Structure 1
């Protein structure tokens, strides 16, 4: 196009920017952005909205914000793009502030504005804010908008407020597949097996066919709650509709069966796969590791390398977890080294947590301590917590005291880890120290432990 001296217009740039975002092509995005500036279309609302959306999709919210601020005359589409960008990147507070600024400037929001606002509310602690936005939707008449209704159902489901999610769902005349998926996944994640299966069947009866995204989400939820009954029902649905050919669905089946204690069924799914990718290999390595079959996990890893699949961060998390469950310190150290030196993979907190647990439970508490100390500040409290739990298990109150002082620097962790340290002192017979801890914190209350045990499809409560 450029060779023929045809100049791209704003729609051309918008299409190219969308393609860059869809393909996670940051280099291409920056090149196109440069072309936009050179062409003089940097002020165009269509191009600016496309730039904001593209940068947001790639997680570069600061760059998106800079584009937004440089536009002199912002229209509703651009405001919505920026608010949605904040939502997709988890900056819900900035999205709300921008929404307030938009209202003060006399810009009237529409359904897409509130969709962008609600999409950022992913934590149950944000329920009250979500309810406030829902109230605004009711006052403004946006509640009749199918897309708004869908994201409200999703928001309430994510915030574990399923009664409200169900009320919104039932108020919609024709819920789409996304809305059905939100309510069904919400019930599944909350452990409400009965309603999850009822609504799944209802959806099919109304002619809405579940897609691979919904099936994968439901399998992940049943895996998290170790519900093999509903998981196997979904497996039946997968087989009836030919979804077993989808790599992500098969990988989710492997994960579900492994976490539900039916490893052999997970391996059968893996062996039946016509095509595999890194996710399916990671799933089976993780499953073998969780069941203490570390050496079998190592064999699958070697097979993966022979097939020329490149391992990623999750691969080594699964391998280190396998070493942790089997107590293989030497192998754990070696995989940690290979991850960094051989494959050039950046370490994540979870890698250090597994290595800390591995060293700690093997009695190498000092090495685990020095490993954490070597990390740049601030050190994640989960690492100190992992080491403290090892001290608790091995009865090392001396190191536990040192570790606890590092943990207690974090106010939000005080009660949780003081209880653990108190238990360590009590086990060591140091009752004066126990009393001091209680005086420092005041009255420490610990909820009695409870667990749900499923048998013959009926749950019973153990205290």
Structure 2
């Protein structure tokens, strides 16, 4: 699901220039800097919050006229008719005191209406002097030239706060466009920083994929983080797999507040799921007082990702009981769980639910349905849904081709591979793993060699270790042991245990016991990190009749606490899925199962005669 918490940046530009501005990740650098320049060049008068009790247009005109430079005295002894009587200077009186000169920092700038708005901080009264002779400011007013108007919240907004808001908006803007360096530069140039500024920088690094820098900035914060900061930090921890750092953030949240907020709780769920700590994720999920669709989606997808499809279906049933309606994302995840279990009835129920509720199909829902029906053996239904899909991507074609490959229809898989290429959609690495596996299970050696060479020559795709493993298995099944061994020696990466295991199985199948000695020398050079290494080594010793070494290796496997996951198979009967494990003897219907198997073996024996 990858990506579960999505952010859209909205920037409010003051004075009604724009109501909102949405930024997408593919914007060019030039557009970003032009918008930043536009925000930076906004003058402080544009940021004035106008009071409801604004003076009339006549008062603003008088204020502007009072601020204009004095005109030359008239030759007539009469006073100008434009001069108010209260402003005339009578003989014997001292001239009015001139207002102190304003400093450049406190000087008004901008348009005429904006300068007139600044005069609201000294409202006129019946006993106050006329606008032509402003009264002297008191000591308090001289010390704080940016004092707010008596209107309180409706007064003039301070200039540092406005600059900080513009800087935070610019940092968020650069982060949304992936320009982390420019976001850091804007942040460093800010004189004052609040939690919004820090959150903008942390989220910018997270959006840009620089998760280490995001956590470093989070550690440098000198203010208390908010929900957005914590969510961004937890996303970085999840992407890095830094479960210890995520636990530290979790502990900080528990110390500050008893109950987790929904946004932080969902971010914690996502972090623990990405770190594959499902028991901690389930603990957080159970303690959430309120769960939305995101909470259920993260938990269900985490169980499916960690190969626990049965638990995912149980949780989906609990989601329905809670009253939360599933969306397309949850239904696609549940269909993946049904495909893993082979639960055809559950998958059909989800399909009917989609049709009954009128949920719009997209490429993800269609691909999940194709994959579910194909893995459950309903190839005709899968093919029918595939043809009904209005839009198909690479994953859709891969799901259909994989369905043919799983059920041994290698030729049909290659046919639809050719149709995919003819449609103009280039295959990816997963597509070639699927078609090489189809060739392997049907013995199409020449076709497999041609596809392997086609990867690099036509599509410029470098083979993975899985591609080499498929080719080794393909050549080994065909009895070309020496060719498979030669391919392993020219691999650009270290062969995995599974690759050597495929070659060993080919040696056993074709009676090449002497060749296993060469494999044994290479296997000793591998790192013994998992149980697969010891199982392979034990099989090699058994193939060479070295039973003492077999016993020693199996003892090491037990001492290290490693175990090999046994083979299993799933079957659904009357809507109930049953799992059978190799060596299992405690099934409730074991007697009936053994009786049916005996009848089948007898029928096979009779058909062979």
TM-score (norm 2): 0.60
Residues 292/180 of structure 1: CA separation in 2 closer, same or farther (3 Å cut): same
What residue in structure 2 maps to residue 202 of structure 1?
321
1:48 matched residue in structure 2: 171
CA contact (8 A) 2:32 2:174 kept: yes
Deviation of residue 332 (structure 1)? 1.3
The equivalent of 1:5 in structure 2 is: none
Deviations 1:4-63 (A, max 9, x none): xxxxx9999x958x32x1xxx4xx54454676899997x9443333333433xxxxxxx7
Secondary structure, in 3 states, of the residue corresponding to 1:308? Answer: coil
Give 5+ residue unaligned stretches, structure 1.
1-8, 56-62
1:177 to 278, 293, 297: 293
Residues 234-243 or 44-53, more deviating: 44-53
Q: Would the alpha carbon gap of residues 118 and 248 (structure 1) be closer, same or farther in structure 2, given more than 3 Å must change?
A: same
* CA distance in structure 2 between the partners assigned to 1:350 and 1:440 by the alignment: 28
Question: What does residue 213 of structure 1 align with?
Answer: 329
Q: 1:461 to 1:352 in 2, by over 3 A?
A: closer
Report which of the two has the higher share of helix.
1
Name which of 436, 441, 444 aligns with 1:320.
436
Alignment deviations for residues 64-87 of structure 1 (CA, whole Å, 9 cap, x no partner) = 368537741465445435544666
Alignment of 1:193-342 (within 5 A): 195-202=314-321, 206=323, 208-243=324-359, 245-342=361-458
Contact 1:255/1:287 (8 A) holds in 2: yes
Task: Kindly indicate whether the alpha-carbon contact (under 8 Å) linking 2:339 and 2:375 is maintained by their aligned counterparts in 1.
Answer: yes
TM-score (norm 1): 0.76
Question: Post-superposition shift, 1:293?
Answer: 0.9
Instruction: Return the alpha-carbon distance in structure 1 between the equivalents of residues 552 and 185 of structure 2.
Output: 54
Alignment partner of 2:326: what SS? coil
Kindly report which structure 2 residues correspond to 1:69-88, keeping only aligned pairs within 5 A, or say none. Answer: 71-72=187-188, 73=190, 76-77=195-196, 79-81=198-200, 83-84=202-203
- Which of 491, 497, 501 aligns to 1:385? It is 497
**Which residue pairs with 1:64 in the alignment?**
180
Q: Secondary structure at the match of 1:407?
A: coil
Cα distance in 2 for partners of 1:165, 1:65 equals 34
Q: Deviation string for 1:88-120 (max 9, x for gaps)?
A: 788766544443233xxx232111122122224
Q: CA deviation at 1:288?
A: 0.9
Q: CA deviation at 1:136?
A: 1.5
Matched, 1:447 2:529: no
Against the structure 1 CA distance between its residues 31 and 295, is the aligned structure 2 distance closer, same or farther, given a 3 Å change threshold? Answer: farther
Aligned length: 427
Q: Using the alignment, how far apart are the partners of 2:31 and 2:311 within structure 1? A: 48
CA contact (8 A) 1:124 1:160 kept: no
Residue 475 of structure 2 is aligned to residue 359 of structure 1: yes
Deviation string 1:316-343 (CA, Å, 9 cap, x unpaired) is: 2322222222232211121122232223
Measured after TM superposition, the shift of residue 163 of structure 1 is: 6.2
1: CA distance, partners of 2:474 / 2:235: 39
Which of 89-98 and 357-366 deviates more? 89-98
* Displacement after TM superposition at 1:123 (Å): 8.6
In structure 2, what is the Cα distance between the partners aligned to 1:392 and 1:65? Answer: 52
Do the aligned partners of 2:469 and 2:502 also contact (CA within 8 Å) in 1? no
Question: CA 1:339–1:453 in structure 2 vs 1: closer, same or farther (change >3 Å)?
Answer: closer
- CA drift at 1:254: 0.9
Give the secondary-structure state (helix, strand or coil) at the position aligned to 2:496. Answer: helix
Q: Residues 237-269 of structure 1, C-alpha deviation per residue, up to 9 Å, x if partnerless?
A: 122133463222111111122223333332232
CA distance in 1, matches of 2:264, 2:458: 48
Residue 544 of structure 2 is matched in structure 1 by 428
What is the Cα-based RMSD across aligned positions, in Å? 4.0
Corresponding residue for residue 60 of structure 1: none
Does residue 99 (structure 1) correspond to residue 215 (structure 2)? The answer is no
Q: Which has the larger radius of gyration?
A: 2
Residue 282 to residue 301, structure 1, CA distance change in 2 (3 Å):
same
TM-superposed CA distance for 1:305, in Å, is 3.2
Provide Cα deviations, 1:281-340, integer angstroms capped at 9, x if missing partner.
221112111222111011112223333333333332322222222232211121122232
Instruction: Name 2:268's counterpart in structure 1.
Output: 152
Unpaired segments ≥5 residues, structure 2? 1-12, 41-165, 508-514, 585-609
Task: From the superposition, tell whether residues 424 and 375 of structure 1 become closer, same or farther in structure 2 (CA, over 3 Å).
Answer: closer
Judging changes above 3 Å, is the alpha-carbon distance between structure 1 residues 232 and 157 closer, same or farther for their aligned structure 2 residues?
farther
